[in-house]
Amino acid sequence: MSNTYECSLKNQHNYNKRSLKHGESYEPKHKKFKQNHFDSGYKSVVDVVTIFKLELQRILNNNNNKLSNTIIEDIQPYGSRISGIYTDDSDVDIHITYTSNLSFKKVIKLFADSIRKSNVFNQVVPIIHAKIPIIKCSFHKKTGIDCDISFNNISAVHNSYLLNYIISMDHRIKPVLTKFKSWAKNTGLICTNGFSSYSFYWIGLFCMQVKRILPPIYELQKNIPERIVGHWNCAFSKEQEFKKDNQKHLSESDILTMIYAYYSSFDFKTYVISPYVGCPLLKKDFENVDQLQPELWKYKQFHKENFEQTNLLFLRTSQFSMYTQDPFQHNLNITARVTPKVFEKFINACTELKDK
């Protein structure tokens, strides 16, 4: 009996140490085999943006009956994977342009239901009441990557391509912005009540515009046809000549230090950050728009047409003191959500790094 028992233990021991099959990993804590959810080599071989776009097209086309009152006009990627500032596990952002006689809430729920039933993602959640409503799709089963889907917000697509072009203008810009964002996240500046990644990129780029490393956005719009989205021109040219001081002697580290020093002493109470013009603007001039630079003629026009709708005007878009114009949509303050607590943390952190 003893031999039988020993043999049984030996067989059990051999069973527990069997060779792992492809796609499995051993998890000692639970003493069992765990199937990996995706092939880690998949992401490096294929273009995940194309995969997501094609899958969404297939899913939504296969649900035409449910979406019979809705016409999908376009599906386009945007965000970090288009701007070029991303990591292997960054989300994929997809924008859908549609028209429908159904309510926005109804359409988003129908889209979410269709995607959920496709079983392509582990979880699909419509976030309807956010400032920019999205469908959040978590863990794509083939790649392990998340996806955020937004709607009828085409300016975000143009902004992504603008960032992509700006980054291509100087080899130092992408690593500088990557390090700048990483520092911001580690410092707790990029959060729900603070900066977005997008706004923080433009904070960094604006300083480089002031130092003439980069051009103001209006210079990229000279002598080319407009591309109007809403009231705003989202066109830009890659052919414009820009007389710049590259300051080639500056390293990436030097540029970062320059950014920290610049904002440690920036007078946010008096000035507005304007990537479009590429220099600080007096905040008081937004009360008397005739005093604004001629390059901002579209905002002057918008202000006069919407004077009574104060919630649409630039200085009415934030209850806090930090004002940063969107490079295209000049009535939009992209740092509107930055609370005094996060703002103070930003200034203190910049001051600390400047003095090192």
pLDDT digits (tens, 9 = 90+) for 318-340: 677 799 999 999 999 999 999 99
Q: Which of 288, 285, 282, 289 is nearest to 268 (CA)?
A: 282
**Domain spanning 43-153: which CATH class is it, in words?**
alpha beta
Residues in the chain where the model's pLDDT stays below 50:
1-46
pLDDT at 283: 94
Q: How far is CA 164 from the centre of its chain?
A: 12
3-state secondary structure of 331: coil
pLDDT at 129: 87
pLDDT at 131: 80
- CA dist 174 and 164 (Å) reads 9
Q: Tell me the Ramachandran region of residue 306: left when phi exceeds 0, alpha when psi lies from -120 to 50, beta otherwise.
A: alpha
pLDDT at 87: 86
pLDDT at 246: 62
pLDDT at 12: 36
Counting beta carbons within 10 angstroms of the beta carbon of residue 11, is it exposed (0 to 12), middle (13 to 18) or buried (19 or more)?
Answer: exposed
CATH 3.30.70.890 given to domain 169-354 = no
Residues 6+ apart with CB under 8 A from 349: 183, 187, 189, 260
What residues does CATH 1.10.1410.10 cover in the chain?
169-354
pTM: 0.84
What residues does CATH 3.30.460.10 cover in the chain?
43-153
